[in-house]
Each structure stands twice: as structure tokens, then as C-alpha cells.
Amino acid sequence: MSDPSTDLQIDAARLPVMLTTLRLPSIARHWHTFATRADREGWGAARYLAALCEHELTDRASRRIARHLVAAGLPRGKTLATFDFAAVPTIRKAQLLSLGAGDPWIEQGGNILCFGPSGTGKTHAAAAIGHALVEGGRRVLFSRTTDLVQKLQAAHRDLSLPALLSRLDRFDCLILDDLGYASKDQAETAVLFELIAERYERKSLIITCNQPFSEWNSIFPNAAMTVAAIDRLVHHATILEFNAESYRKRTAAAFAEG
């Protein structure tokens, strides 16, 4: 007859390898503690197994979010928690919280357009909404518009634009920061139009921009494309106007006054 304590030792020695092969790191880490607890509290085998599986699922969800947060490339520390709503009277806290929750605008491929002068918190708010979306299980990519335009153009040159667009399709929401810095003189922004048209009514965009629509003629190659881009962006959009004094200037002034 086999000795039960030897059997236990053999199983304990095999478990780490088996659990790693099955990609169950949380169970590998916790099975022993849970087993002690199960013995102490008289859990049955099903209860024990269910508790371990539940643990693995919870950990898996948070590992996934942590991965997506890194992949999102969001600027650090720009969250809803660090946003000072008193500084921007035109922006309501409840509205940003609800946009951060995602429903229903993101399901409908809606957009958010943030307008206002430099330093008023557009990038911070866009990043904060993005952060909240990732925490809620969505996939987000933050990018300076000029960087993304460069990537799109490079892809266009080597005929891999469709492949790049479908890679970007994996993101529920793309944040294009400083759309106004992309200019038709500097770059062939027709690819930007293609991105906007491709995502229309399917996948969301958050855009920050210092210039009002009336100045968007400097962004796209021609007037027809400008109008078409604005039409598609605005169709299912929430427009946020950041009409406040520059936060940078305000904090600098407060610092100078002591």
C-alpha cells in the first residue's frame, strides 16, 4: 500500500509543472494555502476547486487590464482622480465619469471631440477617459496625431495600410492627441481621413484639438475632405469645450504668488 504522505509529496512536486503547462499561475501560487484552509474549514473537493478557479479568473482579468494599460501608451498620472474639475467650469464631473464608463457611446462607435486653447486640460481629460475605459476592460491606444499620421503614411507607402488599419481596429478607442498639429504642408493627411472613414460608426475616436472646425482646412488636403472628415467625426459625437484659463499658467501664477 502506498504511504499517503509520500503520495502528497509526489503530487505537490508535480503540480507546479502541470499548472505552469496549463497556464494557471494563480492556482500554482495559491493551491497550497487554499488546501490548508479547505482542510481546516472542511471544504469539499468541489468547493476547493471552485475557489481556486475563481481566483485564477480574477487574477487573469487584472493581468489583462495591466497589459492593456501598458499597450495603451497613456501619459502617466493623467486620470479622472487627478483632474481638478473646479478649474474647468465648462466640464462636468458626472459627464466625464459617464464617458469613462464607456456605455453606450463606445458600443455605437461614437466619438469625443475636445476643443479649447492650449493648457486647458484637453489631453489630461482625454487620457483620463482612456484610462477609465481600459480599467473597464476596453482596449485603447493613445497617440500624438503626428506620430500616428507618420505610421499611417509609412504603411501607405509599403502598401500595408489595410493591415495597419485592421491592427488599429483591435482598439475600441483611439485617442488622437493634437489633431491640429497634423498639417497638410507637413504631411499627406489623406491617410488620416482614411482612418476616420474606416472607423466611422464602428470604432471610437477621441480627438483633442486647439483649433475650431473653421480652421480645419489647414489639416486636410482639400476642402471636400475637410468637410467629409468633420461630418463623420461629428455625427455621433460628444463635444467638450475647454474654455478655461491655461492650467499651466494658473499653477505657475499661484506658485509665483506663494
Quick one: what does residue 143 bind among Mg ion, ligand ADP, none, with the CB cut-off 5 to 8 Å set by partner type? Answer: none
Give first-to-last CA distance, the chain, whole Å: 82
Stretch that binds Mg ion, among 8-16, 65-73, 75-83, 123-131 (CB under 5 A): 123-131
Residue count, binding to ligand ADP (CB under 6 A) = 18
Stretches 58-66, 181-189, 225-233, 240-248: which one binds ligand ADP (CB under 6 A)? 240-248
DSSP 99-113: HHH-TTTTTTT-EEE
Q: Which residue has the cell 492593456?
A: 68
Q: Which of 26, 79, 111, 123 binds ligand ADP (CB under 6 A)?
A: 123
Nearer to ligand ADP, 84 or 201 (CB): 84
How far, in Å, CA of 177 to CA of 209, rounded? 7
**120 is an interface residue for Mg ion by CB under 5 A:** no
Which residues, in sequence order, are bridge partners of residue 131? none
* From the list Mg ion, ligand ADP, none, partner contacted by residue 87 (C-beta under 5 to 8 A by kind): ligand ADP
**What residues have CB less than 8 Å from 84, skipping those under 6 apart?**
247
Cell output for 213:
472646425
**From 27, 110, 122, 182, residue interacting with ligand ADP (rule: CB under 6 A):** 122
Which cell goes with 124?
489630461
What are the grid coordinates assigned to 247, written together?
492650467
Which residue from 37, 248, 249, 253 is in contact with ligand ADP, where contact means CB under 6 A?
248
